[in-house]
Structure 1
Amino acid sequence: MRILHVTPSVPKVRGGTSQAVLDMVRALQVNNVDAEIATTNDNGDALLNVPLQQRIEYQKAPVWFFNRFSPTVKPVREYAFSWQLTQWLWQNMSQYDLVHVHALFSYPSTIAMAIARLQNLPYIVSPHGLLCEWSLQQSTRKKQIYLQLIEQANLNDCRGIHFTSEQEQQEVSKLRLGVPSFVLPLGLSLPQQIPDARDKLRQCFNIPVDEPIILFLSRLHPKKGLDLLISALSQLTHHRFTFILAGSGSPDYEAHIKSLLLSHGLSDRTRVAGFVEGESKSLLMQGADLFALTSYSENFGVAVLEALAAGIPVLITPGVALASMVEQHKLGYVPQQDVSAIANALDNFMNSPQLAKQMGDRARQFVLEKYTWDKIAGQMIDSYRKILNKDTRYASTAKPSVF
């Protein structure tokens, strides 16, 4: 079975979708599926320094890179137009059994679906939250026009839509696309355990050994609800804690967040770590006491899963698709999306350290049993086979169990 994954970009600067595609392809290869990625050399405002128009190993995954059109106008640059990619897809897509398209409203995804339609090739789509209500409300008019004129026809012809949670599937059902769909969570690649991570993290940031650390680790973006989290943290005047803010975003939004920290009196209680990866990221995850993500919308939440696997409880809001799982299995706190509720949940965490530790211990075991990539890859392969056999009944009768 040969599977071609098409995505606008793969560097980590573009967030969780890029990492998920790389992880998925690596896991499929381990399970003897010939999977490759076709993408652009997009790297935010810059371009990746990689060989073009040839298959290379990129972060241990086979990837074909093609040049991204890079004008000075940012919205046009963000669209990731690539003539090289277009030509290659037209000439080579038929060599694959199935095309798996990731993301929407971007040139690589759109052209991949259009070419598959023209060549009558089977393809599926993973929207990664871009069809959810919150996402569609951003740049509403442009997305509605794009969806109606272009993407709706592409979606209607696909063999299936892959959702990473039942919450995402339910939200998108309001669009009445009439396309088969299936739910399968993203997996997790477990990092190496760091001995004495708690002590090492406090040494690294010069934090007292007995002081709780609350961690935010994600892309800095308005949808992440940092404004609510910062306001809630500012109400914990009677508790000792350090807030570690890890992640990067646009210069304007980073400046806005720093201004919020200052105006809420949290600058002295906050360590700004910037973008982290590798061992630095693992140290933060394994050494913190609570992971907080108060997003307005997350179709899955890989960072939440990483925190749970590290054995720390999480505080997430209902907009994060993993919220029902966290609440059901008592792996953390799920307050409503308002400052008062978030502050109360933080207060509960501070007042019950033993309960928080029990949540963390339970979380790690739960994730190891259900969410590693070796388990998820096998279920994805089963979905591929059903699609290639033209068995669309799986959409209504065999939803994989997510939670």
Structure 2
Amino acid sequence: MNILYITKLTGNPWDGTTYCVPYQIHAQSKLDNVMWLNLSHVQKDEWNKESYFFKSNDSAEPQISQLPSPFNKPDLVVVQQFYCYPFSSIIRKLQGMKIPYIIQPHGEMNKSAQKQKRIKKIIGNLLWFNKMIKRSFAIEYLTDNELKNTAWPQKKSLVIPNGITLPDFFRQKRPLEGINATFIGRLRIYHKGLDVLLDGIFLVKDKLKEEKFKLNIYGHDKDGNKERIQKIVLEKQLQDIVSVNDGIYGEDKEHVLKKTDLFVLTSRFEGHPIALLEALSYGTPSLVTPGTNMDKMVSQFDAGWCTEFDATAISKVLLKIVKSKNEWANKSVNARNLASVYSWDAIAQKAHAEYEQLLKSKDS
């Protein structure tokens, strides 16, 4: 198959797509003939070295007709992201040329995500994005739960998850004194459910102090959310339990994950969170909510603890966690085993089979 990937990656280190999309394309290149067109004109060294990365020297938006054959008329186009107006002109060209395209929204079509910047999205959907969806070949979701919670359930769909590269480092986690818990992600209070998480910690803060439970929050600040989180921590007198830190990347993140006993992600909604997959790959048991789209897998593999998205429920699970140190070693092995399910090569094989089936259905 000749597959063209269209993205608008900025290369920002706090954006999960900066990592998962290039890995996905690289894995797919082992099975299919691929080209990657990035409309933001960002060219990172590790992207440029790939023969399939289209390097444009023109400041204008590249056109499909400018691409080398066969990518000026590929078998399939995969559009990575949804709410991105620069896609509109190139999508219109694809529609005019009757080239099938699928959209991978990375959580942006979720009903909960539609509530953020709601008016802006309603207008955008009416003006363009509903048409983009209607004329697409299919929507590619990252998890069954993302599909279940989509605002466009009537559209043909497929489910292909994110992947992970397993680190060489693995050591069974066994907290001996206290629990070192970590959150890594964007500091978006509503999206990541940090408000409800802190409410849950507040309900049992005395017991958590007694058990030497510490939560280190790491993330890129967005719209002053870091200051708001710090204010909540002070108002609830959680500063002995919770610390709020700048984002960490690369070797700094690896160092933190190696020392982490418990990874915490209590999101209202997600696509398929890379930070959680990374934590699991280091053998880190995790506390998750249904909004992460990983609660069923964490439960199935016994790779951590699941909780409803509710402060009281979170507080009860936290009390259970601090009393479960004898379970940690097994859960740590299970976390690593869960991460191994998501190897990039396995994901590429699944995508290849799904795409072939889609194209056959188009021709039949």
Instruction: Please indicate, yes or no, whether the TM-score normalized by the shorter chain is above 0.5.
Output: yes
TM-score tier by shorter-chain length is 0.7 to 0.9
Match of 1:111 among 85, 89, 99: 89
Shift of 1:153: 1.6
Q: What amino acid does structure 2 have at the position aligned with 1:349?
A: I
Select between 106-115 and 244-253 the one with higher mean Cα deviation: 106-115
Q: Do structure 1's residue 387 and structure 2's residue 362 form an aligned pair?
A: no
Instruction: Tell me the alpha carbon deviations over residues 349-368 of structure 1, each in whole angstroms, 9 at most, x when there is no partner.
Output: 10111113322211212321
Which secondary structure state, in structure 1, belongs to the residue aligned with residue 39 of structure 2? strand
**CA 320–182 in structure 1, closer or farther in 2 if over 3 Å, else same:** same
- Offset, 1:377: 0.7
Offset of residue 175 of structure 1? 2.9
Aligned pairs (5 A) from 1:24-103? 24-31=24-31, 33-41=33-41, 50=43, 57-58=46-47, 61=50, 62-64=52-54, 84-85=60-61, 87-89=62-64, 91-92=66-67, 94-103=72-81
Count residues with an aligned counterpart.
Answer: 355
- Equivalent position of 2:273 in the other structure: 301
Root mean square deviation of aligned Cα: 2.7
User: SS at 2:205's partner residue?
Assistant: coil
Specify the code of the residue in structure 1 equivalent to 2:276.
V
Give the structure-2-normalised TM-score.
0.88
Q: Quick one: which of 177, 183, 187 aligns to 1:210?
A: 177
Tell me which moved more, 133-142 or 384-393: 384-393
* Counterpart AA for 1:164: L
1:7/1:108 contact within 8 Å kept: no
Letter in 2 for 1:109: F
Query: 1:111 and 1:267, CA in 2 relative to 1: closer, same or farther beyond 3 A?
Result: farther
The residue type equivalent to 2:165 in the other structure is S
C-alpha displacement at 1:189, in angstroms?
1.6
Choose between structure 1 and 2 for higher RCO, CA contacts under 8 A separated by at least 6 residues. 2
Distance 2:171 2:145 in 1: 36
Cα-to-partner distance string for 1:37-83 (whole Å, 9 max, x where unaligned): 32304xxxxxx5x49xxxx752765544679xxxxxxxxxxxxxx97
TM-score by length of 1: 0.80
Aligned to 1:254: 226
- Identity within the alignment, %: 26
Does residue 185 (structure 1) correspond to residue 125 (structure 2)? The answer is no
Contact 1:317/1:337, CA 8 A, preserved across alignment: yes
- Superposed counterparts of 1:100-139, under 5 Å: 100-139=78-117
Evaluate the alpha carbon distance shift between residue 22 and residue 138 of structure 1 in structure 2; reply closer, same or farther with a 3 A threshold: same
Q: More displaced, 131-140 or 327-336?
A: 327-336
CA–CA distance in structure 2, aligned partners of residues 320 and 285 of structure 1: 19
Q: CA offsets per residue over residues 96-140 of structure 1, 9 Å max, x none?
A: 332100111212333332221022112111011111111111122
Is contact 2:141-2:158 (8 Å) kept?
A: yes
| Runs (5+) with no aligned partner, structure 2 | none
Matches of 1:83 and 1:59, distance apart in 2: 17
Aligned to 1:175: 152
